[in-house]
Amino acid sequence: MTNDREKVFSRLKASLDRLPARTPYPDFPADVATPADRREGGLSVFRQRLAETSTRLFEDIASLGRWLGERNVLSGYCDPSLAAILRPAIPPSIRLSTNFDRQRPDDYQFGITRASAGIVETGSLVLKDRDTSDRLGAVAPWIHVACLDPGNLYATLADALTDLGDDPAVILVSGHSQTADVEGIMIHGVHGPGEQACLFMQAEKKTENGP
C-alpha cells in the first residue's frame, strides 16, 4: 500500500511539473451561490422553508403529542434525554423506547432525536453525531421528528458549511426521503424516513457546539 501511495504521488508530481502555470484559487465570497431571494434568515422565513421541504413543524410539545395520537402509531424511539419532557405530552397508549433494538427495527414507527441547528435558505435540519442519541432512531423509522432549538439557525447553506466544527458526522436533512428512479415519478419514503418533522424546543440546556 505504501508502494501505491508513492506511485500515485510521484505520478501526480510528474504530471503537475509539466504545467507552465497553475490555475489560482479564484476569489469569491462563500455565499456566491446563495440565491438573491434566499439570503434572509430568521424564524418566520425558516417556517416557510420547512413547509417547502415538506417538513411538518410542531411549535410545541403538545401539538406533537396530539398529532402522534391522531396518527394511530403504536410505538416509537425517543432520545433518552428528551423522554422525560416529551412523555407527558404523548398519549399513554403510545410506547416510547429510549433504546433502539436493531433486531426489531419495525417496532419503531417514529423516532425522535435532536437536531443541532437549522438552515433557513434550504429549510434544512442539521444533525450531528454527538447530538443524535442513535443514528438508527433518526433514519430507520417512517416518521422522524427532529427537536430543534429555534434559536440555532444559520441563514444560508454557506454559513452552515463554513461552521461544521469537528463532529464526525454532520447531516443536512431537507425533508423526507424520496426517489424518482422509476420513470421519473417522484415517490416519497424510500430508505430514509417517509415523513420528516421538526419540533421547536427552546434550549433547556446549551449544547457545546451550537452556532
Q: What's the closest the beta carbon of residue 54 comes to other proteins, in angstroms?
A: 10
Among 45, 83, 89, 170, binds other proteins (CB under 8 A): 170
With binding defined as CB under 8 A, does residue 57 bind other proteins?
Answer: no
Q: According to CB under 8 A, which residues from 116 to 155 bind other proteins?
A: 122, 124, 129-130, 132-136, 138-140
Region at 54 (left for phi over 0; alpha for psi -120 to 50; beta for the rest): left
> Whose Cβ is closer to other proteins: residue 109's or residue 156's?
156
With binding defined as CB under 8 A, does residue 113 bind other proteins?
Answer: no
Q: According to CB under 8 A, which residues from 2 to 21 bind other proteins?
A: 4-5, 7-9, 11-13, 15-19
Q: Following DSSP, what letter does each residue of 92-146 receive, concatenated?
A: TTSEEESS--TT-GGG-SEEEEE--EEETTTTEEEEEGGG-S-HHHHHSSSEEEE
Answer yes or no: are the C-beta atoms of 78 and 86 closer than 8 Å: yes
Q: What's the closest the beta carbon of residue 89 comes to other proteins, in angstroms?
A: 25
With binding defined as CB under 8 A, does residue 30 bind other proteins?
Answer: yes
Q: According to CB under 8 A, which residues from 173 to 192 bind other proteins?
A: 173-185, 187, 189-192
C-alpha cell at 150: 429555534
With binding defined as CB under 8 A, does residue 167 bind other proteins?
Answer: yes
Among 105, 203, 206, 210, binds other proteins (CB under 8 A): 105
Answer yes or no: are the C-beta atoms of 159 and 132 closer than 8 Å: no
* Cα-Cα-Cα-Cα dihedral sign, residues 138, 139, 143, 144: positive
Residue corresponding to grid cell 417556517: 47
With binding defined as CB under 8 A, does residue 45 bind other proteins?
Answer: no
- 153 in helix, strand or coil? strand
With binding defined as CB under 8 A, does residue 208 bind other proteins?
Answer: no
With binding defined as CB under 8 A, does residue 205 bind other proteins?
Answer: no
- 6 in helix, strand or coil? helix
| Residue 190: other Cβ atoms inside 10 A | 12
Q: What's the closest the beta carbon of residue 127 comes to other proteins, in angstroms?
A: 9
> Whose Cβ is closer to other proteins: residue 65's or residue 123's?
123
With binding defined as CB under 8 A, does residue 158 bind other proteins?
Answer: yes
